[in-house]
Amino acid sequence: MTGPAIQVRGLSKRFGSRTVIDRLDIDFAAGQFTVVLGSSGCGKSTLLRAIAGLETVDEGTVSIGGNDMTRVPPQSRGCAMVFQNYALYPHMTVRENIGYALKLQGLARHERMRRIDEAAELLGLAEMLDRKPAQLSGGQRQRVAIGRAIARRQRVLLFDEPLSNLDAKLRHDMRVELRRLHDEIGATTIFVTHDQVEAMTLADQVVLLNQGRVEQADTPATLYHRPRNLFTAGFVGTPPMNLLDATHEGDRLSVEGGGEVRLDRRTANATPVVLGIRPEAVLLHATTGMDATVEAQEDLGSHRVIYARLGKQRLLVTEHGPRTLRPGQTVRVGLPPQAISLFEKASGERIGHATGDVPA
Ligand SMILES: Nc1ncnc2c1ncn2[C@@H]1O[C@H](COP(=O)(O)OP(=O)(O)O)[C@@H](O)[C@H]1O
Ligand SMILES: [Mg+2]
């Protein structure tokens, strides 16, 4: 059974005079994994809590499965939430922690035990059911918190930065596990995080928030390859997209401190633009292009990040294969037109749709 669709319409929340979420319209498709991405303080937890019913809102509606839930108490919304700090009961065993909400719900003992065992099986906790939280690692505690949500069999799962307390290796393993779990149980999942790697790897849809507003809601590939504006372009991707000041005139793009690129689009007047290009899309040792000066490089084992300069502008390029560059060297770089995202300098909005196709 697939979880319900969720719609947020015109949703606003203020704390005092401060607007924390600002007229949000978001669609969470039925049974999909949506990641709400944004830096600390942008309103992610407030949005999640408003959907769960743990926070009242000032304007707008939340509907779940086509029903207006805006004034419905949390326990009647059909959502289970996993909190960032796990919030386990320290004096209870894993079994009791997972089963506690079921007990409050008044479920019979045999049904509780069945659900606890099933959740424990799914999460690899079967051997640990008699332990207390203090006898578990961070990753195991996190799995108990998830197990507690799953055992409630709600069709909506809400995760508030559940992996941010884990170390890098565990975070990676838990990401894979969470996605598998989602595909297995088919609940509508909303996962909020500041970590773009989690967003890119987990999501069917990413909603990028900035100061309580949606900057872009799209698939990870679209967000990455066709950012709608400079905010998204700068937020998504490590190392980040190069954003170079340039002028578009006729079919030429003149990069400040660099050279020219020919485009298959024309503009009547000289327009100040920002040229966006991913570090991995820049060609090194190109036959035509512009000269860049290498300043430094970072070796990450599988590849290197080259820090170069075009006049006063910084250009990042990733290089795979054998090392060919040294600091101080000049290298000709090519900026393939099909890999370029163009933004209007004044508004920061993407121009047109012809560039930067999303790979299948
Ligand atoms: N109960 C509250 N009272 C006043 N301000 C709050 C409250 N909860 C959150 N805020 C503020 O609202 C903003 C958004 O918070 P939050 O939704 O927790 O952001 P995020 O989860 O994206 O880090 C922050 O500036 C935070 O300080
Ligand atoms: Mg938060």
Same domain, 193 and 329: no
Ligand 1 atom with least separation from CA of 46: 17
Ligand 1 atom with least separation from CA of 40: 23
- How many C-beta atoms surround the C-beta of residue 79 within 10 A? 26
Per-residue model confidence (pLDDT) at position 123: 85
Q: Are 332 and 285 contacting, i.e. CB atoms less than 8 angstroms apart?
A: yes
Q: How long, in residues, is the chain? A: 360
Per-residue model confidence (pLDDT) at position 310: 96
Tell me which residues have their CB closer than 6 angstroms to ligand 1.
15, 20, 38, 40-46
pTM of the model: 0.92
Same domain, 89 and 198: yes
In a domain, 354, yes or no: no
Same domain, 131 and 279: no
Gap from CA of 49 to ligand 1 centroid (Å): 11
Same domain, 13 and 28: yes
- What span, in angstroms and rounded, lies between the C-alpha atoms of 67 and 34? 20
Strand partners, 55: none
Same domain, 183 and 66: yes
What is the full DSSP assignment across 180-223?
HHHHHH--EEEEEES-HHHHHHH-SEEEEEETTEEEEEE-HHHH
Same domain, 219 and 290: no
191-245 pLDDT, tens per residue? 999 999 999 999 999 999 999 999 999 999 999 999 999 999 999 999 999 999 9
Per-residue model confidence (pLDDT) at position 353: 56
- What span, in angstroms and rounded, lies between the C-alpha atoms of 28 and 288? 46
Nearest CA, atom 24, ligand 1: 41
Ligand 1 atom with least separation from CA of 55: 1
Gap from CA of 39 to ligand 2 centroid (Å): 9
- What span, in angstroms and rounded, lies between the C-alpha atoms of 174 and 156? 19
**Domain edge (last residue) among 215, 235, 255:** 235
Per-residue model confidence (pLDDT) at position 158: 96
| CA 285 centroid distance within chain | 34
Gap from CA of 46 to ligand 1 centroid (Å): 6
Same domain, 225 and 253: no
- Domain enclosing residue 340, as ranges: 242-344
Per-residue model confidence (pLDDT) at position 161: 94
Per-residue model confidence (pLDDT) at position 356: 46
**Domain edge (last residue) among 220, 235, 250:** 235
Ligand 1 atom with least separation from CA of 48: 17
Same domain, 175 and 217: yes
Per-residue model confidence (pLDDT) at position 358: 53
Phi, psi for 132 (deg, rounded to 5): -95, 160
- What span, in angstroms and rounded, lies between the C-alpha atoms of 139 and 158? 18
Nearest CA, atom 12, ligand 1: 20
H/E element holding 254?
strand 242-255
In a domain, 353, yes or no: no
Choose which residue among 14, 17, 18, 20 to substitute to test ligand 1 binding: the one with the highest number of ligand atoms within 8 A of its C-beta.
20
Gap from CA of 199 to ligand 1 centroid (Å): 21
Ligand 1 atom with least separation from CA of 39: 22
In a domain, 350, yes or no: no
Please identify which residue in the block is written with the tokens 């805006």: 70
The two three-digit tokens of residue 116, written as one number: 């606890």
Ligand 1 atom with least separation from CA of 192: 21
Degrees (nearest 5) of the Cα angle 65, 70, 76? 65
Q: Which residues of the chain have pLDDT under 70?
A: 353-360
Same domain, 128 and 169: yes
Gap from CA of 236 to ligand 2 centroid (Å): 19
Nearest CA, atom 3, ligand 1: 15
Degrees (nearest 5) of the Cα angle 251, 253, 256? 160
Those residues whose beta carbon sits under 5 angstroms from the ion ligand 2 are 45
In a domain, 262, yes or no: yes
Same domain, 62 and 198: yes
> What distance separates the 2 farthest-apart alpha carbons in the chain?
75
User: Count of domains in the chain?
Assistant: 2
Same domain, 230 and 248: no
Q: Pick left, alpha or beta for residue 352 (phi over 0 → left; psi -120 to 50 → alpha; otherwise beta).
A: left
Choose which residue among 12, 13, 14, 15 to substitute to test ligand 1 binding: the one with the highest number of ligand atoms within 8 A of its C-beta.
15
In a domain, 210, yes or no: yes
Same domain, 249 and 221: no
Q: Residue 304 maps to which CATH number?
A: 2.40.50.140
